[in-house]
Amino acid sequence: MSLPKPPLRKLEQAFGYTFNNKQRLQQALTHRSADSQHNERLEFLGDSILGFIVAEALFEQFPEVPEGDLSRMRATLVCGKALAKLAKSFSLGDYLILGPGEMKSGGNRRESILADTLEAMLGAMYLEANMATCTEVVRGWYAQTLTTIKPGQGQKDPKTRLQEYLQGRQMPVPEYEVIAAEGQAHNQQFTVSCRTEIFPEPELATGTSRRKAEQQAALQLLQKIKESYGHDA
């Protein structure tokens, strides 16, 4: 028997917004393993909204910084790892609605699920509020980080870091391939392989877009390099 979930008001307080439509909030918290009315469409919407709000904040804060550095800083702030860290600070894992298999395998702690659910909540907030409200909430999440983030090499996304690591060792660039794409066109789950000369077996990762799956596969390979060779890539 699963333990009862804490009151939603605690999540809303941490998130920064009280939902009028609790049914939509429940949908935002529902993983595809639990119900056909799941959160992936809301996550798609929230992903776009989040990217815009963070891009606008960086554009305003760094008026002299070129596009490449702005893109890398945005990628750092909205990547799965950063969003999962935010979600954990909200105790979001305690509220996830998961199917029995995902629950048993620790889905409430999986970074990809936490990140996607946070984006779904943002999408749900946008639908019942407005862009100004979303902007206020999201900028509140990043208020401290935006005061310390700086342009530079440390902001590169996982795919760029992996490619530069390989090129620096005269190795071919990674090869990404879509292994599977499940679901309808507006609601797909992609499985991508990333093959390099470093390891004999390709790395597999999933995501709600091809881009997310490729970034996740690259991140997994970077972590594997660190574990195997004792240094960051």
Report angle CA 206, 196, 175 to the nearest 5 degrees: 60
Task: Tell me which residues of the chain have a pLDDT lower than 70.
Answer: 1-4, 152-155, 184-187, 231-233
Q: Is 20 exposed, middle or buried (0-12, 13-18, 19+ CB in 10 A)?
A: exposed
Angstrom distances, CA of residue 18 to CA of 21, 57, 120, 214:
9, 23, 15, 34
Looking at residue 185, its pLDDT comes to 63
Rounded-to-integer distance, Cα 71 and Cα 79, Å: 12
Residue located via tokens 């990547």? 79
pLDDT of residue 154: 57
> Would you list the domain boundaries of the chain?
8-150, 158-229
The annotation status of 116 as a binding-site residue, yes or no, is yes
119 is in an annotated binding site: yes
Helix (H, G, I), strand (E, B) or coil at 181: strand
Count CB neighbours of 179 within 10 A: 13
The CATH label, of 3.30.160.20, 3.30.2000.20, 3.40.50.150, 3.40.50.300, for the domain at 158-229 is 3.30.160.20
Q: How far apart are CA 60 and CA 58, in angstroms?
A: 5
Three-class secondary structure of residue 108 per DSSP:
helix
User: Could you tell me the two tokens for 18?
Assistant: 């009280």
Model confidence over 100-119: pLDDT tens digits?
888 888 888 888 899 999 99
Per-residue pLDDT, 2? 52
In the CATH hierarchy, which fold is given to the domain comprising 8-150?
A: Ribonuclease iii, N-terminal Endonuclease Domain; Chain A (1.10.1520)
What pLDDT, on a 0 to 100 scale, did the predictor assign at position 178? 94
Tokens of 70: 């702005």
Per-residue confidence (pLDDT) for residue 3, from 0 to 100 = 52
Tell me the per-residue pLDDT of 8-29, one tens digit each, with 9 for 90 and over: 999 999 999 999 999 999 999 9
Position 186 scores a pLDDT of 60
What distance in Å separates the CA atoms of residue 32 and residue 131, rounded to the nearest whole number? 26
pLDDT at position 1 is 42
Determine whether the annotation assigns residue 64 to a binding site.
no
Cβ–Cβ under 8 Å, residues 199 and 220: no
| Residue 172: how many other CB atoms lie within 10 Å | 11
Question: Which residues participate in catalysis according to the annotation?
Answer: 47, 119
